[in-house]
Structure 1
Amino acid sequence: MSFVWKVRKQAYEDAAKQFELTPDEHDPTFRPFNQDPSLWKGAVADSNVAAQSDGIAAYCAFLKFGGRENCVRSRGHVITPIVEKGLISTRPATKTSSLEALLLLIEIDTAAPVIEDILPAVSAKLPKVIAAALAALTSIFHNYGCKVVDPKPVLKVLPKAFGHADKNVRAEATNLAVEFYRWLRDAMKPMFWNDLKPTQQSDLEAQFEKVKAEPAPKQERLLRSQQEAMARAPPPGTEGEDIYDGDDAEEPAEVDAFDLAEPQDVLSKVPADFHDNLASSKWKDRKEALESLFAAINVPRIKDADFNEINRGLAKSMKDANIAVVTQAAQCIEVLAMGLRKSYGKYRSIVMPPIMERLKEKKQSVADALGAALDQVFMATSFSECLEDILAFLSHKNPQVKEGTLKFLVRCLRTTRDVPSKQEVTSIVEAAKKLLSESSESLRSGGAEVLGTVMKIVGERAMNPHMEALDDIRKTKVKEFFDKAEVKAKDKPKPAPAPAARVPAGGPKKVAGAGPKKAPGAVKKVAPAASAPPLAEPASPSAQPRPKPAGPSKLGLPKPGGPTGLKAPQRRLAAPGVGSPRRAAAPPPPPPPIEDEEPIAVSPPPKPRIGLGRGGLAGRSLAKPSVAPTLAPIAASAAPASGLTAMERAELEELRTANEQLLRQVDELRHDKSKLSSEILELKNQNAGLIEDHTRDHLSIKAKETQLVRARSDAEAAEQVNERLRRELERLKRALSRAEGLGVSGSGVPSPMVMSPSHDDMGIYRDGSNSAGARSNRMSFASTMSEEKENGDAPPPYARSKLSPEARYTSASSGRGSPARGIRSANTDEAAHGTTGASASASNGVESWRRAAEVTSQLKARIEQMKAKQGFNRP
């Protein structure tokens, strides 16, 4: 390479011109550059800016006219110099040529190697190199889109560019993120959104709002492979291309976060005590366990593992009494199915029936969570797999469950891309027609919507047999939903079968005396004459139209056409002038036709007298008897390929009948299966309800037994208290009786004793007795008197001030003959007797009572004497 930049510049210009003049990519002009691709490294990174511009332009011409081999050989030598030297050039032409070279490298081959060599520049030291690399990536994705160029490697390094200190780098990163948003929308966010600062997120959201209203972007530059495919494609409207309207065209698949994200192992992030907390008796513990599970599995893509136990726990949570737990469990199922996609299909039978059973909840938030979970489970499976459970719950006894299942079925019909089979369509239609007679308006409308959506998929013609039994009002309702329905799966009409190759009428011509010939391309079925019954082969009509005989033939055979109903092909006639072995009696119209020598029937019926015919002795020609032997091989010829014997048609009808019977049996069995499945499900629900009732009754019985034991213990304690109170009451009654006996009698004179004291009351008349009974009786009497004083109904005490003046005066006298002295002496004796009685044993108790009674009698007598002396008894 020359050291003079002008020489290098001229060499680059000459090379570009030579590349343009080459006839194809195999021209010898490209050979030196293919043998040593490193020559281009010095050209695209030339130290002179003018020469570098022409060098990159020459490389672009080399790629444009050199083909894929030149691209692949030189790609690894030029991408890094172009990014580091060409894209940051101060000349606009150099920048444009550098970017064009990168786009050509992708156009000619693939994008992955080019992106792989550009990405290291994002970590370069110079900010202008990083900004130039990001701008080039933006241009690449703008031209080819995210379906041709994989965005995942770029999205991984994008947060690093947002964290750069240079504002130009951050601005180019923002432009690249906006370009990604045009193609990916919100699916790009899980890849890098959490690594950005809140201010950067808000700024990006503002930029995203500006492009939200823009139409979906389209690929502006095609790969060479795409260009060749378009060149090979036939023009629109030609044969071989299916022509459908725009509604039938399949929508392009959208790129979502699942396709961009890498699978993550979330099973290790699930808390170890998840199952224990999920089985807790406290609803808060169960809810917290589900929240921790949701935080662990809420990722764009989940690595497949054994989630069987987790799904069983989530399915059990669908029966939880707390709706917050149910809602959180439904959200866990939704994100788990969204993260696993097709791998979640094996868990469908575990979670779908419990979710559909819980559709009875009337709260809208719970219903929305359950519906979202069902939708994601359906997206992970297929319509045929979910249909059995859907049909089973359409006959549920709970109207709320029916309505939720109907809505789910409509969503499935709208989103599925698989056209249901005829048997599935029949099952869906029959279930929907039953709902048209429901008492609830929502169920009737749901049934009509299902029918309208199915009609949109299979077409009006296919639905006509199912719509005959409906009245006009329901047909109108179904037609309304049919007009409004939007589906992704449509039953496209089958192409018309190609017309069968026709055999020329009458078969090929044959010259008299020559052997039978087969027409080229014709296939004939040869059968021996003995194996085919006479009724199975129709007689061939003549070349010219003639009336058919009304009655049977002379030999008793059926007339041509026979029971098979097949019409024999027309015969082709030989050239005029050639003799025929069977010539008609009546002269035919000119030119004289010659009948084909290849008969169709083994034993043909006799021909009529008019026109040409065959069969029978009368039809034989007398002019050329030598031709007669040729009839023997002719009789053994086979029937035409298009005809069927009566036996074959009968066998075909039998097979069709058997097929219809089998189809009916299959439908009946499927209906019985669905009915039994619904019964099994209902019995399971009843069994679960009975188990819950049994558990509840058992717990209630245990509680009642506990209450009964407590009641018994309380009753025993109450009886003891009652007995104690009864004894206390009796004691109080006796004390009250004694107090009343000591009260004032008659005119106010106190009566010391009215009745005989009991055994317990002996302590009242004993002085200084140390017996426990006496002390307790005195205390009881004192307490009784104090209580009666408090209540205000105590009898007058023994106090001396309460006695009458006469009594006080009498008591004050100390004479020997004073009654008071006698009373005191009597009291002294009584006290002595009481002391003696108290110290005596239990056997002397009766004597003590007798003495007490005597003292009482004496006291009464003395009181009477005193009354008599004082004049109380005067009238």
Structure 2
Amino acid sequence: MAEQEEDFSSLPLPDRFQHKIWKVRKAAYEDGAKQFEITPDEHDPAFRPFLQEPSLWKGAVADSNVAAQQEGIAALCAFLKFGGREGCTRTRGHTLTPLVEKGLSSTRAATKQSALEAILLYIELDTPAPVIEDLLPALSNKQPKVVAATLAALTAIYHNYGCKTVDPKSVLKVLPKAFGHADKNVRAEATNLAVEFYRWLREAMKPMFWNDLKPTQQTEMEASFEKIKSEPAPKQERFLRSQQAAMSRAPPPGAAGAVEEEDELEAEGVEIDAFDLAEPQDVLSKVAPDFHEQLASAKWKERKDALEALYVILNVPRIKDGDFGEIARCLGPKCMKDANIAVVTQAAQCIEVLAKGMRKPFGRYRSIVMGPTMERLKEKKASVSDALGAALDQVFAATSLSDCLEETLEFLKHKNPQVKEGTMKFLIRCLKTTREAPAKPEVASIAEAAKKLLSESVEGLRSGGAEVLGTVMKIMGERAMGPYLEGLDDIRKTKIKEYFDTAEVKAKDKPKPPPAAAPRAAAPAAAPRKVVAKKPATKKPAPAPSPYAQEALAPQPTARSIPGSKLGAPKTSGLAAPGAGLKAPMKRTLAGPGGSAPPALSSPRRPVSQAPPPEEEAPAPPRLGLGGRGLAGRPLAAKAPALAPPASQSISPPPNSGLTALERAELEELRLDKDRLLRQSDDLRQERSRLNSEVQELKNQNAQLIEDHTRDVLSIKAKETQLVRARSDCEAAEAMCGQLRREMERLKRALTSAERVNSPPALSPGRDGSTDEAGIYRDTGMYSGTQETARAGYGHRARMSLNSALSEEKENTVDAMTAQYGRGKLSPELGRNGRNSAASGSGGRNSPAPAFQSRIRDTSTEGARPEGNGQGVESWKRAAEVTSALKAKIEQMKARQGISRP
């Protein structure tokens, strides 16, 4: 047996890795680890067999013998450590699953430690994403110990590499499932992983899984979080090979660049928030189809309910990009002008969550919502102003200071102090939270606007202006802000310095690039001076200090300063000659009289008495030409006699004067002109600013007037509509009244006709038969005509009411009279219309007239016989009784039918 064991060592290492005897495999694993450790680099031939056949490591990691497995995982660690990235990528797919299922859950501590080290090496050599992707399926394993071991491995991964290197989103999604596991060890490891996430992410991790936890679990987690809140921010302990290579090229640890880079890395680690971890959600499809109709409702409650529903939809960690232009226009220009402050507050909250969920894509809607929101800052209620400020802060966070600055500075000039104060506070918050320092022109604009706030009558605005300048000074530095603070009194400067000392900003101006470019910029600036200095030397060999020194030396021995000079007389020579003062000065500047070099120009302090005699050379006319033409080309000949020094003083001029008196006067005049122009420029600039502010104010007033006009026009149209409706209703009422009046008149006439038919004069004994019959015909004809008119003009309803009443009366009284007297053979209506009245529209039985007509007709057929007084009285009494009975019956019928007598 011993000889056979010695023979196993001579086998190739890959064969020994697959041997059936566990001791042989264990020894092979140990030998492999030793060989990997002594290799000079990752290209050594010792790695080649395992790169060509990476499945060998699967058997080593999942060895059935626990002792051999321990050495096999240790050999894998050595292979990964010294084999490089290629060994990692080729073997990762074969070993990760066995490492999780067999190695991490092993009962041996050394095996578990080696398995965890192998997983960390797989991350270190390449990228973390594939490793995390292979670890997540193990969280669904049936064995609780495998799930707990996987959670512990994930905790170690994030503890060593951090959430900035290893993306935590995929793990946070499945973390709630681990909290709901039945095994307490799994829940304990899930808690440890959540605490580790909290160390890196803080509150940003909660939206991913917090709502899926039970209340008791949330309470326990909060207690665990409280313990680590006071701890400093965690730092990455292990680095990827790519990060190690970058760090090796970086400056040494003590260098300034390395410190700044570390600070930037720490700042980047804090920037992880819920937006980076969440998946984009499509919220446009969830908006109600009738959202715009509800938002246009006349009831503020319905508008507020629509905005509340929109807020619930938009309040997600991350919003998928889409076309939100219509919603932005509803929230900005429309809702911000709403008369109800509850609607305005809810709209501001919708803008806040929309900008927070979209971030950079929201920038294209900034101009739509920012202006109306800042205009609404005039509200004095704290809840409204806070909501508007939060919305503006999120709009700024989604854009940048440069995008928001122009509109912000415009609203700093607003006529409403409340709007101005709210805009000022918004600008201060922007300056404190921005991570990019403003450019030089932007700093100038901010400083100018802030200095105007310093002169406001409201103390809050003055303090705000000082805070703006102090915050900008904190970003740019005291030296850079020095020119912008010129002209301010000491009290204001002290106030600005106080805000400068207490301000906390995130942006810092980096002055490194300007010094690097300064030498290159200085070289061209110095070049012109050299060229100007060499120009005189190219035309004359004599050295000269400067062109100004040559001009200063030549005019000193002027003709006016020497007694006996020809130019001392009144100016009758070269002064009046045209062109004399144009050409001579140029020659005198570079050369002496006649183009020759002036003698001894090396010392400007040489006394005038040592100069050559000027009478013979007569250099005065050209020099006076120069004196007649100043630096600006304006003639100064008239001033020359007044400025010429006396003869006693011309002998010893001031030794240090570089310019003549005329030139000094000319220079002083130019300086005064320059100052005057600068003052005029400042005045014009201020006037322009004032006019711009007036134009903006007029624009605002014009917009307000247009809005008021539109409102008035709509109100007038509404009133006109109401007036038209009222007139229509009035006409309808008048028509109804006329109809009722005509109906009442008709009823009166019908009643009068009925009374007239039954009146006593119809049976008057004082008349003869023909007269009575004619009267009866006349009365009955009028009554029948009235009935037909009623039937034709006023409808069946009135006819039926009257006919029913008269019909009932006929049945009671008139039928008796008809039976007494008999129906006549001929009626007046038959005589007129050619038909019986029974066939007429009123009906034969519905009218009482035929009964009376038959009675009268029967009496008329008997002949007109004289009657005595006794019979006449009886007739009158009988007629009166009949009439009274008829009236009583009519009144009873009216009372029963509810007809009131007019």
| TM-score (ref. length: structure 1) | 0.63
Give yes or no for contact 2:437–2:509 (8 Å, CA) kept in 1.
Answer: yes
Distance 1:187 1:236, change over 3 A: closer
Q: Which amino acid aligns with 1:357?
A: E
CA deviation string 1:295-352 (max 9, x = no partner): 2222111111111111111121111112221111111111111111000011111111
Give yes or no for contact 2:537–2:543 (8 Å, CA) kept in 1.
Answer: no
Distance 1:427 1:667, change over 3 A: farther
2:495 maps to which of 477, 480, 483: 477
Distance 1:190 1:605, change over 3 A: farther
Asked if 1:426 is matched to 2:441, the reply is no
d(CA) in 2 for partners of 1:536, 1:330: 75
1:438 maps to which of 438, 453, 456: 456
Q: Which runs of 5+ in 2 are unaligned?
A: 1-15, 521-525, 557-595, 604-676, 738-758, 765-778, 780-872, 882-902
Asked if 1:58 is matched to 2:75, the reply is yes
2:351 maps to which of 306, 330, 333: 333
What is the CA distance between 1:194 and its match in structure 2? 2.9
| TM-score (ref. length: structure 2) | 0.61
1:167 maps to which of 163, 184, 199: 184
Distance 1:354 1:339, change over 3 A: same
What is the CA distance between 1:403 and its match in structure 2? 1.2
d(CA) in 1 for partners of 2:198, 2:476: 37
- The 5 A counterparts of 1:93-242 are 93-235=110-252
What is the CA distance between 1:189 and its match in structure 2? 2.1
Aligned to 1:686: 705
- The 5 A counterparts of 1:367-378 are 367-378=385-396
What is the CA distance between 1:702 and its match in structure 2? 6.0
2:317 maps to which of 279, 286, 300: 300
Give yes or no for contact 1:45–1:81 (8 Å, CA) kept in 2.
Answer: yes
d(CA) in 1 for partners of 2:725, 2:518: 90
What is the CA distance between 1:240 and its match in structure 2? 7.6
CA deviation string 1:172-229 (max 9, x = no partner): 1222112111111221222222333333333323322332222221112122222222
- The 5 A counterparts of 1:285-434 are 285-315=302-332, 316-434=334-452
Q: Which amino acid aligns with 2:235?
A: K
Distance 1:471 1:108, change over 3 A: same
Q: Which amino acid aligns with 1:409?
A: L
Give yes or no for contact 2:62–2:98 (8 Å, CA) kept in 1.
Answer: yes
What is the CA distance between 1:65 and its match in structure 2? 1.5
d(CA) in 2 for partners of 1:368, 1:555: 74
What is the CA distance between 1:98 and its match in structure 2? 0.6
d(CA) in 1 for partners of 2:261, 2:149: 46
Give yes or no for contact 1:24–1:66 (8 Å, CA) kept in 2.
Answer: yes
What is the CA distance between 1:426 and its match in structure 2? 2.0
d(CA) in 2 for partners of 1:189, 1:155: 9
Asked if 1:695 is matched to 2:691, the reply is no
d(CA) in 1 for partners of 2:282, 2:435: 31
Give yes or no for contact 1:333–1:373 (8 Å, CA) kept in 2.
Answer: yes
Q: Which amino acid aligns with 1:86?
A: G
Give yes or no for contact 2:304–2:342 (8 Å, CA) kept in 1.
Answer: yes
Q: Which amino acid aligns with 1:385?
A: D
Give yes or no for contact 1:423–1:667 (8 Å, CA) kept in 2.
Answer: no
2:279 maps to which of 243, 250, 262: 262
Asked if 1:17 is matched to 2:30, the reply is no
d(CA) in 1 for partners of 2:306, 2:412: 33
What is the CA distance between 1:464 and its match in structure 2? 2.2
d(CA) in 1 for partners of 2:261, 2:707: 53
CA deviation string 1:752-784 (max 9, x = no partner): xxxxxxxxxxx9xxxx9xx9xxxxxxxxxxxxx
What is the CA distance between 1:677 and its match in structure 2? 4.9
d(CA) in 2 for partners of 1:280, 1:320: 12
d(CA) in 2 for partners of 1:537, 1:664: 47
CA deviation string 1:540-566 (max 9, x = no partner): 979xxxx999985999899xxxxxxxx
d(CA) in 2 for partners of 1:695, 1:715: 30
d(CA) in 1 for partners of 2:720, 2:392: 40
CA deviation string 1:428-481 (max 9, x = no partner): 222222222222222222222112212222222222222222222222222221
- The 5 A counterparts of 1:480-495 are 480-494=498-512
Q: Which amino acid aligns with 1:156?
A: K
Aligned to 1:782: none
CA deviation string 1:610-645 (max 9, x = no partner): 9xxxxxxxxxxxxxxxxxxxxxxxxxxxxxxxxxxx
Aligned to 1:89: 106
Distance 1:275 1:609, change over 3 A: closer
Distance 1:498 1:285, change over 3 A: closer
Distance 1:20 1:552, change over 3 A: same
Give yes or no for contact 1:554–1:605 (8 Å, CA) kept in 2.
Answer: no
Q: Which amino acid aligns with 2:232?
A: P
Task: Provide the secondary structure at the position in 2 that maps to 1:83.
Answer: helix
d(CA) in 2 for partners of 1:698, 1:287: 27
- The 5 A counterparts of 1:775-794 are none
Higher helix share: 2
d(CA) in 2 for partners of 1:116, 1:181: 22
Q: Which amino acid aligns with 1:435?
A: L
CA deviation string 1:468-516 (max 9, x = no partner): 2222222222222121111112222245348969xxxxxxxxxxxxxxx
Identity value in percent: 65
Q: Which runs of 5+ in 1 are unaligned?
A: 502-523, 559-602, 611-657, 719-762, 772-830, 840-875
d(CA) in 1 for partners of 2:42, 2:393: 53
Q: Which amino acid aligns with 2:177?
A: K
Asked if 1:42 is matched to 2:42, the reply is no
Q: Which amino acid aligns with 2:356?
A: M
- Which stretch of the first structure deviates more once superposed, 669-678 or 48-57? 669-678
d(CA) in 2 for partners of 1:170, 1:441: 58
Aligned to 2:830: none
Give yes or no for contact 2:393–2:426 (8 Å, CA) kept in 1.
Answer: yes
d(CA) in 1 for partners of 2:393, 2:547: 71
Distance 1:181 1:679, change over 3 A: farther
Give yes or no for contact 1:337–1:376 (8 Å, CA) kept in 2.
Answer: yes
Task: Provide the secondary structure at the position in 2 that maps to 1:496.
Answer: helix
> What RMSD, in angstroms, separates the aligned Cα atoms of the two structures?
5.1
- The 5 A counterparts of 1:351-750 are 351-494=369-512, 496-497=515-516, 534=536, 552=550, 676-677=695-696, 679-696=698-715, 698-699=717-718
- Which stretch of the first structure deviates more once superposed, 241-250 or 405-414? 241-250
d(CA) in 2 for partners of 1:220, 1:304: 37
What is the CA distance between 1:90 and its match in structure 2? 0.4
2:86 maps to which of 31, 56, 69: 69
Task: Provide the secondary structure at the position in 1 that maps to 2:371.
Answer: helix
- Which stretch of the first structure deviates more once superposed, 138-147 or 393-402? 393-402
What is the CA distance between 1:108 and its match in structure 2? 1.7
Give yes or no for contact 2:201–2:270 (8 Å, CA) kept in 1.
Answer: no
CA deviation string 1:668-720 (max 9, x = no partner): 989977764554344223322332244345545766887899999999999xx
How many aligned positions are there? 638
d(CA) in 2 for partners of 1:354, 1:470: 34
Distance 1:188 1:110, change over 3 A: same
Asked if 1:79 is matched to 2:96, the reply is yes
